[in-house]
Amino acid sequence: MTINGLRRIDDYRVEVPKGFKEGMRTNGIIFIDRNLEQDLDPKSVNQVANVATLPGIVGSSMAMPDIHTGYGFTIGGVAAFDLKNGIISPGGVGYDINCGVRLVRTHFEKKDLKTKMKELIDDFYNTIPTGVGSKGKLRLSAKEHKTVLRKGARWVVEQGFGTSEDLKHTESNGCIDGAEPELISDKAYERGKAQLGTLGSGNHFTEIQYVDEIFDEPAASSLGLFKDQITVMIHTGSRGFGHQVCTDFLEVMQRAARKYHFNLPDRELACAPVDSPEAGDYLASMKAAANYAWANRQLIMHWVQESFMKTFNIGPSDAGMSLVYDVAHNIAKVEEHVIDGKRRRLVVHRKGATRAFAPGHKELPEAYRNTGQPVIIPGDMGRASYVLVGTDQGMNESFGSTCHGAGRAMSRHQAIKKAKGRAIWREMEDMGIIVRATGRSTLAEEMPEAYKDVSHVVDVVHHAGLSRKVAKLRPLGVIKG
């Protein structure tokens, strides 16, 4: 589809010029090649332009090649705002606060699982609570729930579910300081109290994979990855808790937008000045939901290790499970970036976009300081996923951000309609991939055709210089909500 008014800058960048829409304060940049551009949704382009109208935006309003229409911001959207004149918008984070991905490496190789895959996936499905309304194995008191919101994955490790090394290999060490549980609504607490340690529905999954291809041997070695190695990828977020936090604050921000006389092109961009009480309360609540999500993925990693130990009748050291990295892709964070040669503190919104910090960044674990931040990009359940690392160019051009997945090519309704009469689980099995899910509709919504080709998406960010390919991971078995 040709969208009038766009300007192609090079093979991997399209500009949404400042005059594309009235009120734009800056331009938009979409990282996309000519092939993916053919399927670019005008609504998504309009959302990129809308974000460019927001007060205090610094640099461009950006979108990654997995771009598709979202609430307020496009999914795949990145935007940074000045701390004095800028805004905070829940639409720039999304409903599933700190939806993110965790990659676990093991001592196992592909050949070791040949006769055990079905048993292992079945145990995953029985061990990890999965899907809408699923309840975790932990029963938290009100006091414990609030402690989780303040301490995130740190609390989980303190309870014996993991090690301090896991925290070192988690973004923000698995906890953002400044969460305020007292701001959280009773409804959010009710929705979240039984869901810690559970896998969400939709595109969330836990997947057994193997390292199919290595593109950068030194980087792969520093990340502890080798050819044919078994890895496990965990993709989930803050569940109903984070969804309710977002819902609660959308109402607050709608009132704030009127209070501060913002003339917004879309009510879904409801926002408040960074230094306002409304923005402060949202950030403190968002941090609580982000900490909940890191705690959630930390627990699921523990259940994964238990399944391996049970299936193979081994101890923890024999499984050799350790965390490569855990990274958020729905979050707003105050970060320091170089703008026009000067260091500035900005609030960076990433919605369906992954942080990708360059080598040498102070927030990176010592083990990855010379390599760059591991970037984990999940694909669909039938193709592949990727590991990349951050680059200096990405820091300079996209606030250290890159894509977060393949990106939907069909709506869930379209996918269900196209899958009618098909046995998606059998199609996956014919491809050598064992799938367990809570319902047929989930598999229909998540079938490979519903997504763009992740290899194509990753090639765009690689060639654009936002992040660098390290390894390709192929699925062997997956559980979905």
* Active-site amino acid positions: 404
Buried/exposed 326-354: b ≥16 CB within 10 Å, e otherwise = bbbbbbbbebebeeeeeeeebbbbbbbbb
Those residues whose C-beta lies under 8 Å from the C-beta of residue 57, and which sit 6 or more positions away, are 25, 26, 51, 79, 80, 81, 82, 86
Q: Which residues contact 210 (CB under 8 A, 6 or more apart)?
A: 109, 110, 228, 229, 230, 231, 473, 474, 476
3-class DSSP assignment, residue 478: strand
Cα 320-323-324 angle, rounded to 5 deg = 115
Q: 311 to each of 49, 115, 154, 359, 365, how far by Cα in Å?
A: 51, 11, 28, 38, 32
**Residues 391 and 361: beta-carbon distance below 8 Å:** no
**Contact predicate 346/335, CB 8 Å:** yes
The partner residues of 280 in beta bridges, in order of sequence, read none
Best CA proximity match to 304, nearest among 106, 30, 135: 106
d(CA 22, CA 253) in angstroms, rounded, equals 23
The whole-angstrom separation of Cα 456 and Cα 435 is 24
Q: Are 460 and 200 in contact (CB under 8 A)?
A: no
Q: Which pair of tokens denotes residue 119?
A: 């048993």
Counting Cβ atoms within 10 Å, is residue 251 exposed (0-12), middle (13-18) or buried (19+)?
exposed
Specify which residues 451 forms β-bridges with.
408
Q: How far apart are CA 159 and CA 436, in angstroms?
A: 29
Handedness of CA 295, 301, 305, 310 (dihedral sign): positive
- Angstrom distance (rounded) from CA 481 to CA 479: 7
